[in-house]
Chain A
Amino acid sequence: MDDAFTEYAAQHHRRLCQMAYLLCRDRGAAEDLVQTALARAWLAWRRIEGDPDPYVYRIIVNTQASWWRRRWRGEIPTGALPDLADQRDVATDVSDQDVIWTAIGTLSSRQRAVVVLHYYEGLTLGQVAEIVGCSPGAVKSHLSRALGRLRVDPGIRSEQMEGFQR
């Protein structure tokens, strides 16, 4: 295996897994996504010029989108019941995060990718556009729609109302 590739994978694996997790919200799937992306990057390693990050990110985003289209996303077995008692009185901050996290989960695959790349990875709209494979204008549009959707999310709205009341 190429030394440069080994070094890159060792250094970036954790960060790539975190990014993949934010896209697919499943640890196993995130590790699988990253392994797929690194395997494809390994094949093309000699052809990659400059920073390999955009190339690897692009594989992760595209693979996740294709898996998202293909995979069953209906019932998810869970140990925790969704009808939890309201815990806002004891941990309001945690609840706020839960609400936003749940709302992010309702975004489309493309919108979520744009949000994660821009707000988590800190990439510019131009860099996001290069990874996602569309124009910066389209990225701006995706981002604007994603934020708009989060703003009108019923959970976030009720949180904001309660915040005002407090």
Chain B
Amino acid sequence: MKHTESELTQVLADRAPGDFGAPDFAAITRRGRRYRRRRGMAAALTVAAAVTATIVTVTSLAMPAQNPPPAATGHDGSPAVAPSVRLPETFELIGEKLPPMPLIRSERFDTTGPIRTISYTPKSAHTGYVVVCEDPQAWVILRTKEHHGIYSGSAFRCGRGDPRHAPGVGPHGPQTMEVAVLPADAPIREPGEIRQSPDGDGTGRPRTFTPECPRNSLKKCGGKYSASMLLRKGVLERVRDEIGERPGRWAIGIYDSAATARSGS
């Protein structure tokens, strides 16, 4: 052993005090029991968490297909998502010189009928949303509550045209909108052309009709609710009650240009 090491051994031996008392067995067992209780509680919590996770998994697997619960919020692109309701990963604002906006939030649902409330907090002045449905003919009614209970919004066929919209809200705190997806056969009138009545009815007022549906029969063959009617207070709720809840998967994605800036930096 080297000189320094022997000195080290000597210092340690000299410095260790020799007058420690006898062990307090009562205190040792008390402390031991406390550790055991803590360990038991931790184990119980772990088991409870595992059981809860198992129950959730089993329940979701055993749930009948016609009445599944709304799927959990998640990012798009997971293998479990059916291709028909797969949200695009980015959203490009038409007419805007902005890079494609990444998806910041998405929600998925397995039934049509209920009115869903979607909340999100925009991080920039440029946000957008996309609604995709299993049935591309399903109706999407999107509304936002304005002052005095008045709604603004729109109704469109899920797969028709470009269902992407840019609400143009800035970073003004949390935003909430209500979205209802209704089955394709919901009594909603197709937005038709506005034309002057071809044969004239004496009033000279424009009349709405579609080529498939002759005038004055719109309510019968095109549905009794127009898009503008659906934005009136209580109308959408009435339609929902008439139709009820039906199976039909759909998803909504929120896109934000601030995420582009972050991911690009």
Is there an interface contact between A100 and B7, defined as CB atoms closer than 8 Å? yes
Scan residues 1-17 of chain B and give those whose CB is less than 8 A from a CB of chain A. 4-5, 7-17
Is there an interface contact between B17 and A115, defined as CB atoms closer than 8 Å? no
Interface size class of chain A, counting residues whose CB lies under 8 Å from the partner chain: 20 to 34
CB distance from B9 to the nearest CB of A (A): 5
In the assembled complex, A67 has its CB within 8 A of some CB on chain B: no
> B residues within 8 Å of A by Cβ?
4-5, 7-18, 20, 22-25, 27-29, 31-32, 34-36
CB distance from A60 to the nearest CB of B (A): 14
CB distance from A83 to the nearest CB of B (A): 22
Cα A150 to Cα B9 with chains together (Å): 13
Instruction: Please name the residue on chain A nearest to B23 by beta carbon.
Output: A13
Cα A166 to Cα B22 with chains together (Å): 45
CB distance from A102 to the nearest CB of B (A): 10
> A residues within 8 Å of B by Cβ?
1, 6, 9-10, 13-14, 17-19, 21-22, 27, 30-31, 34-36, 38-40, 42-43, 96-97, 100-101, 104, 115-116, 119-120, 147, 150-151
The DSSP consensus for interface residues of chain A is helix
The DSSP consensus for interface residues of chain B is helix
Cα A43 to Cα B17 with chains together (Å): 28
Is there an interface contact between A151 and B4, defined as CB atoms closer than 8 Å? yes
- Tell me which of B11, B16, B18, B31 contacts A100 (CB under 8 A): B11
Is there an interface contact between A18 and B9, defined as CB atoms closer than 8 Å? no
Is there an interface contact between A13 and B15, defined as CB atoms closer than 8 Å? no
Across-interface contacts of A17 in B (CB, < 8 A): 20
Given the contacts A35-B24, A35-B27, A42-B32, A18 and B18 also touching, CB distance less than 8 Å: yes
Cα A36 to Cα B23 with chains together (Å): 11
Contacts A35-B23, A39-B32 aside, 15 further interface pairs with beta carbons under 8 A come to A9-B25, A21-B17, A35-B28, A36-B31, A39-B28, A40-B32, A40-B35, A42-B32, A97-B10, A97-B11, A97-B15, A100-B7, A104-B11, A120-B12, A120-B13
CB distance from A163 to the nearest CB of B (A): 11
CB distance from A108 to the nearest CB of B (A): 16
Cα A37 to Cα B5 with chains together (Å): 29
